Amino acid sequence: MIKQQARADEQQTGTSRRHFFKMLAGSPLLAMAYPGLSPAWQREVDRVLARDQSASGRATRMVCADCGQAFQLPAMRPMRSSMPQAGAPQSPTPNALDVHLTGQLIDAPGDASNVWDFEAVAHANTLPQHWNYIHMGVDDFETRYANRAGYQRLSLRPKRLGPDVPKLDTSVSLFGKRWATPLFLCPVAALEAYHTEGESGAARAARARGVLQIQSHQSSQSYEAIAEARGEPHWFQLYANQDWDVNKRTIEKVAAAGCPVLVWTIDLIGGSNRELSRRSQGSEGYNRPLCQSCHNHQPGYQRPMHRGVQGPPGPRPAFDWDYVKRLKDAGKMKVVLKGIVTREDAELAVLHGADGVLVSNHGGRAENSLRGTIDSLPEVVAGVKGRVPVMFDSGVRRGADIFKALALGATAVGVGRPYVWGLGAFGQQGVDKVIALLLEEFTMVMRQARTATLAQIGPQSVMPGATPIMMRDNRQGFGL
Ligand SMILES: Cc1cc2nc3c(=O)[nH]c(=O)nc-3n(C[C@H](O)[C@H](O)[C@H](O)COP(=O)(O)O)c2cc1C
């Protein structure tokens, strides 16, 4: 009951925030208050006013209630709406450069030009603590930067003329199943923190586009609920408990539900320094009433994948390489190790029976290695020597990033934050558009490189970049 109420409240958060800005925008006090508002609030007010202005065709002039002085608001940039109301006047042409550079918010998934367009909207829709959790990189975020910078030091080598490229084939085989695309959705915890559709919304979008999805052990929804939304079993990611019996019961549960592949995340075993998350929790942590309403609303509350797997204390074996065999024996599933970034670990993983490795630094959220995953990929590929699939993630934001990772030997390429931005912005439709944008960009690069299949993308398709690259404008903290 409490949870339902909390959910309803959550659903209303975005709407009430917008109502609040609308009320502020309509208030005569705005004339006085506007200059003192933070840039983010000013943008929101601009946006509401611009929308009203473009709908009514009237210029906005505010009058101070106290002194009667007329006040012309600073220049406002009307937003384009992709869903015009019947009979509404035509919106003025948007200033595309402004939208591109100033982080104005899009109104609908169809308005997005790239995945960062969803980042700003998700930010506006999300509780600050939840936003800090997804935005956070360990220490001072350097590994997040390194992830992006890595792609920018790798150039493309296109092919200009040649025989016509027939219809592109982007399909890839993983453990006997053929996927339409090499793109996959990484496991990300607690997706209901970003949209009430949560993992199921992502599942429906991913399934419709033939995209593999890996569920987080910390998901907001159960394996069964997500698989039902998806219409087929998906992969499950495990954070191993010290107590082996807890793991065994978890594995048996997902195996019984049809899960074909277990992804064991091994890059947080020693902990990670998450300053932004700690800061945003403050001294109260989850104890403040707002957090309690979801995180701990009943005594003994647990996220779905941790329910029903407790029992009397069991053995606590070390997290060593023999653990891989334990996991395989427990579930009879394929086991992929997530978080491999060195050649030595890649060799050991294959030696100890891993069915695949996932090159990842957790999106800059594990140790602050200062090393982008695209820089780790070649040595992992060298260690694996083609014996098992090499999956890859962290910092992927463009179709060209996917292409570059495939060129260096990745079998499949994942995104974390981008699809959660899509979800946080517009639910399932946002995830769908994020996937569509990435795949459109990716296939354009394939055509430019005249590579008709993934097998034709190889080391000859890229080279180390020689020119220092200007990064995206990041003054507002977005764009990583
Ligand atoms: C908010 C958030 C939560 C995450 N939760 C998990 C998780 O529960 N399990 C896991 O293995 N990885 C988790 N990851 C890491 C992702 O699986 C993935 O490695 C990473 O997001 C890829 O980098 P990107 O976000 O730059 O695309 C999480 C990442 C983020 C941003």
Residue 334, phi then psi, degrees to nearest 5: -65, 145
Q: Is 186 in the pocket of ligand 1 (CB under 6 A)?
A: yes
Give residue 128 CA to ligand 1 midpoint distance, Å: 18
Give residue 147 CA to ligand 1 midpoint distance, Å: 13
Q: Which of 123, 135, 195, 362 is catalytic?
A: 362
Question: Can you tell me the mean pLDDT for 316-323?
Answer: 97
Q: Is 415 in the pocket of ligand 1 (CB under 6 A)?
A: yes
**Residue 467 confidence (pLDDT):** 77
362 is catalytic: yes
Q: Whole-structure pTM over 0.85, yes or no?
A: no
Q: Whose CA is nearest to atom 29 of ligand 1?
A: 188
Give the mutation target among 132, 135, 186, 220 for probing the ligand 1 site: most ligand atoms within 8 A of CB: 186
Name the pLDDT band for 295 (thresholds 50, 70, 90): confident
| Of 36 and 3, more confident | 36
On the question of pLDDT at 201 being above 80, the answer is: yes
Using an 8 Å Cβ cutoff, are 442 and 170 in contact?
yes
| Of 10 and 162, more confident | 162
Q: Is 243 in the pocket of ligand 1 (CB under 6 A)?
A: no
Q: Is 189 in the pocket of ligand 1 (CB under 6 A)?
A: yes
On the question of pLDDT at 66 being above 90, the answer is: no
Domain boundaries, the chain: 1-79, 142-464
Q: Which CATH architecture has domain 142-464?
A: Alpha-Beta Barrel (3.20)
**Residue 385 confidence (pLDDT):** 98
Q: What are the tens digits of pLDDT across the range 338-357? A: 999 999 999 999 999 999 99
Give residue 186 CA to ligand 1 midpoint distance, Å: 6
Average pLDDT, the chain: 84
| Of 444 and 4, more confident | 444
Q: What are the tens digits of pLDDT across the range 372-383? A: 999 999 999 999
Half-sphere CA count of 417, side-chain side, radius 13 A: 31
Q: Is 134 in the pocket of ligand 1 (CB under 6 A)?
A: yes
Report the percent of the chain where pLDDT is more than 90: 65
Give residue 143 CA to ligand 1 midpoint distance, Å: 13
**Residue 14 confidence (pLDDT):** 42
* Range ranked top by mean pLDDT from 284-288, 302-306, 383-387, 464-468: 383-387
**Residue 284 confidence (pLDDT):** 76
Helices and strands: H and E segment counts in the chain? 18, 14
| Of 414 and 18, more confident | 414
Question: Can you tell me the mean pLDDT for 31-50?
Answer: 56
Using an 8 Å Cβ cutoff, are 201 and 427 in contact?
yes
**Residue 60 confidence (pLDDT):** 45
Q: Distance between CA atoms of 436 and 459, rounded to whole angstroms?
A: 26
Query: Strand locations in 325-455, DSSP E?
Result: 334-338, 356-359, 390-392, 412-415
Least confident of 76-80, 129-133, 195-199, 400-404: 76-80
Q: Is 395 in the pocket of ligand 1 (CB under 6 A)?
A: yes
